[in-house]
């Protein structure tokens, strides 16, 4: 049985661990904090390859992953016994100017103002039309994280929490071991799934892009679609919570919410869905997206024969988790690669 050590217990590390374990590998996850509490916890959980306007092979990657979601979630629910808040609620992407309405009027998914208001009541007057994206949706990323951890435990994946990897020790073209706060760890293969913190272990071009978020509570639960406006998104959960995001800030690992960040999100959200003005704020938080050049994840082979990369998922790591886990498992266990994805390094 192949021994695999995964550094990082976010959605990417956990999803990959589960897929590998279900193919018979013996997997250990090393996480310096608690699993699922990095970007995975901070996210909005949109499954939105279309609303995000992904292009080329990255769009294909996102569409394929979105397609995989129903079965992927069913497997997780079966293993964990937990609900993940997966909801195919569709996304409304509002258009706010006459010129944009004109430009998009021939788009097959364009709907006019009155149709937009039929798909979702209570939209702001600033919305002049929209794209209706019925196949985009959402998962509750925090529930997902909990389910992934429970599923991993059910498969006897070893999870070492509170263990920091300080160094990936190398000899020529191979990793020999990891130096960690719990001593030396050794394995046949290593997977680097450290999200925005990747550069602290290897000189790879991954940078943290901060996102501030908040949530409000909607007693009436009238919002039934994700609204993906040009300057904010609004994600209703089935329990009445509404997640509003997100700023995009290139400020390193600067922690905390700012008044300007939250004010910007609230102003934009209230203009597209005015009922938010009267809802109580329930939480504010922030997180760090792992940004890679051209926003394309670093996946597959590295400069070291037994080290696999699984990082740089930037704004769409929750969406990309199922396909990342599958491609890496095909690659490591079966030696297969998918020619559709040139960015998967062989
Ligand atoms: C505000 C915000 C909103 C987002 N919204 C969405 C969305 O709507 N849809 C979507 O698909 N994506 C979204 N994303 C992006 C998504 O959250 C990320 O792409 C995804 O979570 C990345 O997962 P990951 O496992 O690579 O990283 P993380 O979840 O950050 O996990 C990395 C883990 O590695 C651990 N680690 C790091 N260094 C070490 C070390 N040296 N030793 C041990 N452990 C280490 C960390 O503690 C962390 O737990 C959003 C992100 C943010 C910040």
The packing angle between helices 11-22 and 317-334, to 10°, is 40
- For ligand 1, say whether the CB of 312 is within 6 Å of any of its atoms: no
CB-CB contact of 226 with 42 (8 Å): no
Please name which of 201, 92, 198, 193 lies closest in space to residue 138, comparing C-alpha atoms: 92
Nearest-CA residue for ligand 1 atom 37 is 194
Please give the Cα distance from 151 to 114 (Å, whole number).
44
Please give the Cα distance from 176 to 187 (Å, whole number).
8
Q: What is the DSSP string of 190-238?
A: EEE--GGGGGGTS----EEEEEEEEEEE-TT----SEEE-SS-EEEE-T
- For ligand 1, say whether the CB of 261 is within 6 Å of any of its atoms: no
CB-CB contact of 123 with 111 (8 Å): no
Please name which of 21, 18, 5, 14 lies closest in space to residue 35, comparing C-alpha atoms: 14
Residue range 91-133+207-290 forms a domain whose CATH class is alpha beta
Distance 312 CA to ligand 1 centre (A): 9
CATH superfamily, domain at 3-84+140-205+293-345: FAD/NAD(P)-binding domain (3.50.50.60)
- For ligand 1, say whether the CB of 40 is within 6 Å of any of its atoms: yes
Preceding peptide of 246 cis, ω within 30°: yes
Query: What integer pLDDT is reported at residue 292 of this predicted model?
Result: 96
Ligand 1 pocket check: which of 289, 291, 292, 323 to mutate, most ligand atoms within 8 Å of Cβ? 289
Q: Which two tokens stand for residue 309?
A: 């990369």
Q: What is the DSSP string of 11-38?
A: HHHHHHHHHHHHTT-EEEEEESS-TT-S
Domain ranges of the chain: 3-84+140-205+293-345, 91-133+207-290
- Measured CA to CA in angstroms, residue 93 lies from 55, 104, 214 at distances of 17, 12, 20
Distance 106 CA to ligand 1 centre (A): 37
β-strand 226-228 against 91-95: which pairing, if any?
Answer: parallel
- For ligand 1, say whether the CB of 245 is within 6 Å of any of its atoms: yes
Q: Per-residue confidence of the chain (346 residues) as pLDDT tens digits?
A: 679 999 999 999 999 999 999 999 999 999 999 999 999 999 999 999 999 999 999 999 999 999 999 999 999 999 999 999 999 999 999 999 999 999 999 999 999 999 999 999 999 999 999 999 999 999 999 999 999 999 999 999 999 999 999 999 999 999 999 999 999 999 999 999 999 999 999 999 999 999 999 999 999 999 999 999 999 999 999 999 999 999 999 999 999 999 999 999 999 999 999 999 999 999 999 999 999 999 999 999 999 999 999 999 999 999 999 999 999 999 999 888 887 777 888 7
Torsion sign, CA atoms 140, 146, 147, 152: positive
Nearest ligand 1 atom to the CA of 319 is 11
- For ligand 1, say whether the CB of 213 is within 6 Å of any of its atoms: yes
Nearest-CA residue for ligand 1 atom 1 is 211
- Helix or strand or coil: residue 338? coil
Nearest-CA residue for ligand 1 atom 35 is 8
């Amino acid at each position: 049985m192949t021994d695999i050590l995964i550094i990082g217990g976010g959605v990417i590390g956990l999803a990959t661990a589960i897929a590998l374990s279900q193919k018979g590998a013996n997997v250990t996850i090393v996480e310096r904090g608690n699993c699922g509490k990095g970007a995975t916890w901070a996210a909005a959980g949109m499954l939105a390859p279309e609303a995000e306007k992904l292009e080329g092979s990255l769009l294909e990657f996102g569409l394929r992953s979105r397609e995989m979601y129903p079965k992927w979630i069913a497997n997780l629910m079966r293993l964990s016994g937990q609900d993940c808040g997966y909801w195919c609620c569709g996304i409304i992407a509002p258009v706010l100017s006459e010129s944009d309405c004109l430009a998009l009027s021939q788009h097959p998914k364009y709907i006019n103002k009155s149709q937009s208001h039929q798909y979702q009541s209570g939209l702001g007057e600033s919305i002049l039309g929209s794209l209706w994206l019925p196949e985009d949706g959402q998962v509750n990323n925090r529930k997902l994280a909990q389910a992934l951890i429970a599923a991993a435990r059910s498969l006897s994946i070893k999870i070492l929490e509170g263990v920091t990897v300080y160094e990936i020790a190398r000899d020529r073209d191979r990793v020999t071991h990891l130096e960690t706060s719990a001593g030396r760890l050794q394995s046949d293969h290593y997977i680097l799934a450290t999200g925005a913190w990747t550069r602290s272990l290897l000189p790879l071009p991954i940078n943290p892009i901060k996102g501030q978020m908040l949530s409000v509570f909607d007693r009436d639960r009238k919002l039934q679609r994700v609204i993906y406006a040009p300057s904010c998104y609004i994600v209703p959960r089935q329990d009445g919570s509404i997640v509003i995001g997100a700023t995009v800030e290139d400020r390193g690992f600067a922690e905390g919410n700012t008044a300007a960040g939250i004010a910007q999100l609230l102003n934009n959200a209230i203009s597209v869905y005015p009922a938010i003005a009267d809802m109580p704020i329930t939480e504010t938080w922030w997180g760090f997206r792992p940004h890679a050049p051209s926003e394309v994840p670093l996946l597959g082979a590295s400069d070291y024969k037994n080290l696999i990369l699984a990082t740089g998922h930037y704004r769409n790591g929750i969406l990309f988790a199922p396909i990342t886990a599958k491609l890496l498992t095909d690659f490591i266990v079966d030696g297969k690669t998918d020619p559709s994805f040139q960015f998967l390094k062989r």
